[in-house]
Amino acid sequence: MSDITHPIEHHRDDEGTRLGFWLFLYTELFLFAAFFLVYSVYRSSHLEDFKLAAESLNTGIGTVNTIILLTSSLTMVLSLDALKKGSVKLAKTLLLVTFALGMAFLVIKGFEWSAKFEHHLFLQTAKGIAAGHGSPLLTPGSEMLPVGQVLFFGLYFIMTGTHALHIIIGAIWMLIVFFWMSKGSVNQDNHGVLERCGLYWHLVDVIWIFLFPLYYLVA
Amino acid sequence: METSPSQSYLNSHTSPKWTGGFMSWFMSTDHKRIGVMYAVAMFSFFFVAVLLGFVMKLQKMYPASSGWEIIPVELYGSFFTLHAIIMIFLFIVPGAPAVLGNFFLPLQIGAKDVAFPRVNLLSFWLYLLGAIMAVVGILLGGADTGWTFTPPYSINTKTISIFGVVFDSISWMLTAAFILGWGTILTGINFIVTIHRMRAKGMGYFKMPLFTWSIYATSWLQVLATPVVGITLLMIVIERIMPVGFFDPSKGGDPILFQHLFWIYSHPAVYIMILPSMGLVSEIIPTNSQKPIFGYKSIAIASCSIAGVGYLLWAHHMFTTGMSDFAAILFSFLTFFVAIPTAIKTFNWTATLYKGSITLTPAMLFALAFIFNFSIGGLTGMFLGSLSTDIHLHDTAFVVAHFHYTMFGGAAFGLIGGVFHYFPKMFGKMYSMKWAKAAFAFMFIGFNALYFPMLVLGYYGMPRRYHTYPDMPIFNDLQMASTLGSWILVTGVIMVFGVWIHALIKGKQTTEINPWNSSTLEWQTATPPTLFNFEEDVEITRDPYDYEAFRGEVKAGTSAGAKNV
Amino acid sequence: MTTHEQSLSPRTPIMVFGALIILTIATVLLSGLDVGNTGALLIAMSVASIKAALVLYFFMHLNHEPLIFKLFLGVAFFTLLAIFVLTFSDYSFRVI
Ligand code: HEM
Ligand SMILES: [Cu+2]
């Protein structure tokens, strides 16, 4: 039998693939846009509470994390450029650096979160709350935070959490690309995967560029 | 099995590994097979949901005081929720793009496949996964929140426990909807890139058939609207299982904000449903009038402006929720704008009929019914879009009739008509014309007998989502008429399926390339199409609906529309 | 294969990166100013938009992409804008 492979796989359309990937990035953007919309609405209706709650966030940590993420974006760009020039080794090193910076971001985020946990501003299952060891965040009764702050912390955890999830996905992706580069299937001529991984990583950065001022600066 | 690219797609495979039986379909990246698989899955779900609707109508045959009860009150809520979830998320939103778009979009633009065939298969798998999850959720726990999942009810309503295990069927169904959403998004991305990158030589944007144009507009809505509702539904899940506040007023949330986010998707979604069917009508009508479509460009542009304007109207679903008066007036005002491109299309279709040599094929009958039903659906939409009348009509049977006129009488009639139109090309089998026309007659009469009374019922104040009604002559008579209509309609639906299944099993084999003498490109290739659609590269030299040139080509014996190079 | 020629010298990315860092520090410092709520929001969002534009344009290589990529970005951007403006046509005029 004749071995039929798909005609599309014969002729590679890098520009088309990039176009499709950009469309995918827009869907990610719109996903976050819904969160941002919720944030803006509640910020406008609970301004004082948002400001009070935001004081418990550490601007220093936020700034450091922003710089880490921006740096990782730079190393990502340089890694792709290196691959395009044919220096696979440099590309691999820079990709690892990017990965490490992503991890650093997560570790710092983790410390920040656990500090919040200790102040009982933590996420908890509805079951736990029903069992009575709830956080003051939501336990009905005396110690419950004002609703504006409940909204703030909920949004803070879920938005930064979703963002962190994207960082994790991006990091795993980098490891896979790294592996492919070692195997040689991703190379100077075939660098589309690294390019897309980079685009994804930059988008995650763009989202953080907006998260950062909204949570650490203006609230 | 011996396969070669010049054989029908029904006998050749995209992967040398899977060449037989079920797996040769399930693992196939061929856009045509994927389209057929969607069709099988979607129409099966459709049939289940039709039966649910049938039972609901049966319930409303007699008023409460008569003691008539087919389904208890508590179950009625689950019934309309499941009916709507299946109809919306599993049937009409994937709808025509998934079935006929997949099959015919590449054929219409002279491409060998879509841009990302494997992603296309992934879309189908996601659809199937989401659908199976939804069905499991239905069987295990169900939901009675309505397909709109409106909080706070959707947040606070209890979970059920099965044999002591807590099962949160609402979260489960919401997650299923999220997964289904990704299926549609990926299809949309795929089609946009296909249209931009894979048109045959000579196929300029304004040489594309109108179905392709409508799919293009639809795809943009799928890409830009679906993520919003996806994450919004997940927010409900998060709010159900974690102590955060998004929409629950007891945690400071604003349930109206949920409705904004929900309708930011779900209003554009009604155009996701209707635009592809409009595209199908734009194919069926010129073919069966043997005339160029009137105002080709204005229809193409109208598709895009419907998509664009359609994104800006969502809050007309929320006039009575307590949103600000300013927004209500603004959205009411904006709503009227979408009537313009819609009316342009309707006028163009009717103008195409004028002095055409009309053949009333089953597809043509469905297309004409589309115009009729959709005009009623669209015009009643104007009642609901104007602020003052909507206050009276909101959440009544009028609304139910309105959206069935658009989604069923419009979108689903268009899709069914499209399947009749393309059936011989897809399967190389011919169905019985006589039975197809009879099925149409039942569907059309039954449909109007079912829903027209509901318009009046709503006007007299019959609320939506109610399980019964008080014993009053006007209600009793109209409800009875409506229920009888549902019997005729369901008979028609069963007949349509009967015609299709009979044709597939026992239908006359045909290899006729162009049974309806259509001038567009998808008809100028083998029946059924071969694996790579066209034997050679095609080049387009004329407009898609240039019937004069087409007849010349037929006389001269050159293949119409496409010149082999 | 990318059809367009692009210089692969690290100069541009590093300069862009410098600008991003400067803007980050600037926005942190500016947030200390007492310009009221709207003012602070306006400043922070403007700086963030500039930063995002730099990332999109240089790091994500929009500058090397054909027109169609920019048109797509425009479509996405205006849709986002519409969502926000229209939603606030409700919330800005709520009478509670
Ligand atoms: C024979 C076919 C059908 C019948 C008999 C039928 C009947 C019904 C009935 C009785 C209701 C409940 C009305 C109420 O109590 O307020 C309903 C609701 C609904 N139907 Fe259908 N229907 C049919 C087909 C369709 C189709 C084709 C679609 C969409 C493509 C559809 C979409 C819906 C939706 C979205 C609702 C709203 C449910 C809600 O209020 O949450 N139906 N239908
Ligand atoms: Cu609407």
Residues with C-beta atoms within 5 A of ion ligand 2? B 267
What's the CATH code of the domain at A87? 1.20.120.80
Cα separation, A90 vs A96, in Å, equals 10
| Residue A219 pLDDT class (50, 70, 90 cuts) | low
Q: Do A18 and C65 touch (CB under 8 A)?
A: yes
Residue in C79, C82, C93 closest to B324 by CB: C93
Residue in B196, B224, B260 closest to C90 by CB: B260
B9 compared with B45, residue with greater pLDDT: B45
| Position in ligand 1 atom list of the atom nearest CA B46 | 27
Cα separation, A193 vs A183, in Å, equals 14
Mean pLDDT value of segment C40-48: 94
Residue A31 lies in a domain: yes
Whether B408 lines ligand 1, by a CB cut-off of 6 Å, is: yes
Question: What residue of A is the nearest CA neighbor of C91?
Answer: A41
Residue A24's identity, in one-letter code, is F
CB distance from B311 to chain C under 8 Å?
yes
Q: Which of A152-156, B390-394, B417-421 has the lowest mean pLDDT?
A: A152-156
Q: Looking at chain A from residue 153 to 212, which residues have their Cβ under 8 Å from any Cβ of chain B?
A: 153-155, 157-158
Chain A: give the shortest CA distance to residue B520, in Å: 23
Residue A101 lies in a domain: yes
- The CA-atom distances, in angstroms, between B26 and each of A150, B18, B34, B135 are 47, 9, 8, 20
Residue A129 lies in a domain: no
On average, the pLDDT of chain A sits at 85
In degrees and rounded to multiples of 5, residue B60 shows phi and psi of -95, 15
What range defines the domain where residue A49 resides? 25-117+160-217
Residue A143 lies in a domain: no
Span A113-145, pLDDT tens digits: 887 766 555 555 455 455 555 554 554 443 567
Span B297-355, pLDDT tens digits: 999 999 999 999 999 999 999 999 989 999 999 999 999 999 999 999 999 999 999 99
Instruction: Give the percent of chain B with pLDDT over 70.
Output: 96
Residue A98 lies in a domain: yes
Residue in A23, A32, A124 closest to B189 by CB: A23
What H or E segment, with its residue span, contains residue B271?
A: helix B255-289
| Position in ligand 1 atom list of the atom nearest CA B79 | 12
Span B440-495, pLDDT tens digits: 999 999 999 999 999 999 999 999 999 999 999 999 999 999 999 999 999 999 99
| Position in ligand 1 atom list of the atom nearest CA B91 | 30
pLDDT at residue B561 is higher than 50: no
CATH fold of B21-355+364-556:
Cytochrome C Oxidase; Chain A (1.20.210)
pLDDT at residue C41 is higher than 60: yes
How far is the first Cα of chain A from the last one, in angstroms, to the nearest whole number?
67
- The CA-atom distances, in angstroms, between A24 and each of A199, B34, C1 are 11, 21, 21
**pLDDT at site B511:** 87
Residue nearest to atom 31 of ligand 1 (CA): B87
CB distance from C96 to chain B under 8 Å?
no
Indicate whether this complex's ipTM tops 0.90. Answer: yes
Coil vs helix vs strand at B429: strand
Q: Looking at chain A from residue 177 to 216, which residues have their Cβ under 8 Å from any Cβ of chain C?
A: 189, 198-199, 202-203, 205-206, 209-210, 212-214
Coil vs helix vs strand at B112: coil
Enter the tokens of residue B281.
Answer: 């009508």
Residue nearest to atom 43 of ligand 1 (CA): B53
Which of B322, B406, B415, B420 minimizes the C-alpha distance to B372? B406
pLDDT at residue B133 is higher than 90: yes
- Under 8 Å between Cβ of B486 and B450: yes
pLDDT at residue B43 is higher than 90: yes
Question: How many A from CA of B136 to the centre of ligand 1?
Answer: 21
Q: Looking at chain B from residue 327 to 366, which residues have their Cβ under 8 Å from any Cβ of chain C?
A: 327, 330-331
**pLDDT at site B240:** 85
Q: Looking at chain A from residue 52 to 111, which residues have their Cβ under 8 Å from any Cβ of chain B?
A: none
Peptide bond preceding B470 in cis form (omega within 30 of 0): no
Cα separation, A11 vs A1, in Å, equals 22
B414 compared with B513, residue with greater pLDDT: B414
**B102 conformational bin, left if phi > 0, alpha if psi -120 to 50, beta if neither:** alpha
Span C15-27, pLDDT tens digits: 999 999 999 999 9
What residues of B are in contact with residue A14 (Cβ under 8 Å)?
none
Residue nearest to atom 21 of ligand 1 (CA): B53
pLDDT at residue B101 is higher than 90: yes
| Residue C10 pLDDT class (50, 70, 90 cuts) | confident
**pLDDT at site B4:** 55
What H or E segment, with its residue span, contains residue A49?
A: helix A47-54
Residue nearest to atom 37 of ligand 1 (CA): B84
Cα separation, A73 vs A59, in Å, equals 21
Peptide bond preceding B528 in cis form (omega within 30 of 0): yes
Report the number of distinct structural domains present in chain A. Answer: 1
